[in-house]
Amino acid sequence: MSREQLILIGAGGHAISCIDVIEQNGQFQVIGLIGLPNELNTKCLDYPVIATDDGLSDLRASYSYTLITAGQIAEPDTRIRLYRIACDLGFELPSIVAPSAYVSEHACLGNGTIVMHGAIVNAGVSIGNNCIVNSRTLIEHGAYVNDHCHISTGAILNGDVVIGAGSFVGSGSQIKEGIKLGERCIVAMGLSVRHNLTDQTKFLSDRR
C-alpha cells in the first residue's frame, strides 16, 4: 500500500524521536527535513535535510503533508511560527499516533499533534493543534490541552486539567485534577502542581 509523502520541519533531537514514531505508524513516508542553514545537506537518521523554511513554498508544489518537528521547552514561538507558515502555504498537518500509544476513540487530537510511544490519552480529552504529547505521558478524562503545548515525558495530567496555549509541562510532573494553567506557562521537571497558574507563570520549584 502506498504511503503519503511527508516533509518534516525541524531537524534537531525532537525530529529523531518523531521519525521513529512516523516509521512505526506506517501511514507516511518521510521525504526529507527542513532545517537551519548550517544543517543543509546533512542527514537526520537516514533522511536528508533538503531545505530551510525559505524553501517551503517551492516544496508545496510537490508535497501536501508536513509536520512540525522542532522541539519546544523554553518557548513555543518557533513551533508556532513554523506552524503558521505551513498553514498559510496550504499544507495539511496530520495528527500522528505511535502504535504503542493509546488514544481513546472519545478523545480529540488537533492538526499536527503527535502522540509518542506509550502515551495514554483517555476518554473526553481534547488536545489542540501542533502539540507534543511525549512518551509515557498520561492525560486523564476531560482534560483540555490548548494549541502549541508540549506535555513532556512521563507527565501526568489528571482529570479536567486545562493547559493554556503555548505551555510546557516538564518530564514527570503531575497536575492535580481540575487545575488550570494559563497561556505560555512552564512547569519544570518532576513538580506537583496543586494550584492554578496565571499566564506566563514559570513554576520552577515546589517552594514557589
If you write DSSP's letter for every residue of 87-102 in order, what string do you get? HHTT-B---EE-TTSE
Query: For 106, how many CA atoms within 13 A lie in the half-sphere containing its CB?
Result: 8
- Marked catalytic residue, from 141, 148, 150, 195: 141
Rounded to the nearest 10 degrees, how much is the dihedral formed by the CA atoms of 20, 146, 181, 143?
A: -80
Measure the CA–CA gap between 49 and 40, rounded to whole angstroms: 5
Q: Assess contact for 104 and 84: CB atoms under 8 A.
A: no
Indicate the SS3 state at residue 46.
coil
Measure the CA–CA gap between 66 and 69, rounded to whole angstroms: 9
Indicate the SS3 state at residue 89.
coil
Active site residue 141: yes
Rg (CA), the chain: 17
Catalytic residues: 141
